[in-house]
Structure 1
Amino acid sequence: METYAVGPELHALPSALPIPDSGLQPVNAYLLRGEQPMLVDAGMPVDRDAFEEALWSLVDPADLRWIAITHDDRDHTGSLTRILDHAPGAKIVTNGISLTRLSEEFEIPRGRVVTVNSGSRISIGDRKVSFHRPPTFDSPGTLAVFDHEAGTLFSSDSFGTVLPETVQHVGDADAKEFFEGFDVLNRAIAPWTALVDAEKFLRTVHAVSSLSPARVLSAHGPTVEGRMVTSLMEAMARIPFLPAWLPGADVDLEAALDAHGARAAPDCPGTRLSRR
């Protein structure tokens, strides 16, 4: 896993999942360094060893102070308990619903958790971060994280895309392919968008847009900065006006499993990982 810088004191820990008949879904976690370093999400189980090697190349375990879990899906929690074991000074920051669901699988030390809701703020050393409900989500505990110092919005699954090949920056992707994949992913994770009151949905988009983010970092997309942030918000505003998206019924299951097996093999030979 090759990390890369996406801003001052900010690094992406990138991976990807093959999506049959669609392309690759980026799967990113982010490390915000500074006075009290914060990790946003904790990678996939299939990437656990490579993820942790990359993480500890960027920050000493003794220095990590915060692990923001944007929601409880497994592609956001793969290394969570092992990171807690190696970083004794780190605390989890997450929503109470996510914490409850995490507790179904993991033994979470209660003294190492800070629960937050949309609208909450915390100080992490030299900066303040706040928490917000992103427009699209597939878990009720989902929260986006906004770093007020740098204007960075960590948007969880929301604002992601599916691409033929993953790229680091939206400018490196074909715009048509990016927004086609955007429409697919944001409806796939939130099929309920076809049923919602569009006016209420747009209020959520406007609330996130009103933060005036300088960059948007999705767990499932490349870095988006500058004027493209406006285009991203406009694309999200169209989602409730699109029909529901569902995968085709004729997906080649064998090909899908082969793709995932090939993806897992190089980084993690033993993918049957024990749970705590």
Structure 2
Amino acid sequence: METKIYEIAAGIYRLSTHVAEIAPPAGFTFNQFFILGDEPLLFHTGPRRMFPLVRAAVAKLMKPEDLRWITFGHVEADECGAMNDWLALAPRAQVAHGKTGCFVSLNDLADRPPRMLDDGEVIDIGGSKRLRYLDTPHVPHGWEAGLLYEETSGTLLCGDLFTQLGDRAALVSDDIVGPAIAAEDMFKYSSLNPDMGATIRRLADLKPRKLALMHGPSFEGDGAAALVALAADYDRRVS
């Protein structure tokens, strides 16, 4: 395996590792997003055993020891499995997450106390990059779920939303909703609940210009339309 690097927006890098053994023959991608700034930020750490690959990718962009913020959508191995490896490597690094995630899990699991974020709170990492935290409980799963929106570039870091199979181009402008619906049919990974559609439509109100998927390609185009279409599919499933 190798971790490929692609700049999806100015100073925002997709670190992508394709694992052919998961859901063959298409395989499955695990993506982290590294955001350069005065206080560099990593969204998703990857699983613990993938830490050497992700660390090597980050090292091509900056000294990994200078990482400042570690964030992720929810508490799950592929999202934060290497969290403490990063805390051990980078002495200034701190985990940042919503209140539920901190109270329920991260105050205990993280080797250093995390920063607790309010819904809508902004982390200004410098270099014109501002990350707004958004509570999205149970969307797509985990009551502590939350996402980040980089305001300057209009990039929504989507976590597990739009999960799909395969190893497509790093940045696409075609359909990401159809493949996500197919993956949901296969994995049934979402915690279906009556608020799903409304929560996703609130994300659409941001009118993101780019969608950074954890499992799949990043998307450039009408992010709001893609989110509304995904919300409609979840409404159908819930009803």
Which TM-score bucket, shorter chain as reference? 0.7 to 0.9
Q: CA deviation at 1:103?
A: 5.6
Aligned to 2:28: 25
1:1-276 matches, cutoff 5 A:
1-17=3-19, 18-20=21-23, 23-99=26-102, 100-102=104-106, 106-110=109-113, 113-125=114-126, 126-134=128-136, 136-163=139-166, 165-171=167-173, 175=175, 178-186=176-184, 188-190=188-190, 192-193=191-192, 196-197=193-194, 200-227=195-222, 230-242=225-237
CA-CA distance at 1:181 after TM superposition: 2.9
Aligned mates of 1:87, 1:94 — CA distance in 2: 18
- Size of the aligned set, in residue pairs, is 231
Identify the range of structure 1 (14-23 vs 29-38) with the bigger mean alpha-carbon deviation.
Answer: 14-23
Contact 1:95 1:117 in 2 (8 A): yes
Counterpart Cα distance in 1 of 2:163 and 2:23: 17
User: Does the residue aligned with 1:141 lie in a helix, a strand or coil?
Assistant: coil
SS in 2 for 1:119: coil
For normalisation by structure 2, the TM-score amounts to 0.84
C-alpha change, 1:48 and 1:103, in structure 2 (3 Å) is same
4+ aligned runs moved over 4 Å, structure 1: none
Q: CA RMSD in A?
A: 2.6
What are structure 2's unaligned runs of at least 5 residues?
none
SS of the aligned residue for 1:155 comes to strand
For 2:18 and 2:224, locate their aligned partners in 1 and report how far apart those are by CA, in whole Å.
22
Amino acid at match of 1:11: Y
Q: Contact 1:94–1:114 (CA<8 Å) still a contact in 2?
A: yes
Deviation sequence 1:180-218 (CA, Å, 0-9, x none): 43014346221x42xx43xx4332122101111110102
Question: What amino acid sits opposite 2:180 in the alignment?
Answer: F
Shift in Å at residue 137 of structure 1? Answer: 1.8
Q: Counterpart of 1:249? A: none
Scaled by the length of structure 1, the TM-score of the pair is: 0.74
145-154 or 78-87, larger mean C-alpha shift: 78-87
Q: Aligned-pair distance for 1:53?
A: 1.1
2:200 maps to amino acid: V
Identical aligned residues as a percent = 19
How far the C-alpha of 1:32 sits from its partner, in A, is 0.6
**Which piece of structure 1 moves more, 219-228 or 178-187?**
178-187
Query: Partners in 2 of 1:217 and 1:66 — Cα distance?
Result: 18
Q: Which structure has greater strand proportion?
A: 2
Residue 182 of structure 1 aligns to which amino acid in structure 2?
A
* More moved, 206-215 vs 95-104: 95-104
> Equivalent residue of 1:242, what SS?
helix
Distance 1:240 1:53 in 2: 41
Deviations 1:103-131 (A, max 9, x none): 66x45212xx2111432223222432211
- Aligned residue in 2 for 1:256: none
Deviation, structure 1 residue 102: 4.2
Q: Are the structure 2 counterparts of residues 116 and 22 from structure 1 closer, same or farther at C-alpha, using a change threshold of 3 Å?
A: farther
CA gap of 1:230–1:107, structure 2 versus 1, over 3 A, is: closer
The Cα shift of 1:57 comes to 1.9
Q: Kindly indicate whether structure 1 or structure 2 has the higher relative contact order, using CA contacts under 8 Å at least 6 residues apart.
A: 1
Q: Is the 8 A contact 1:5 1:12 kept in 2?
A: yes
Aligned letter for 1:237?
A
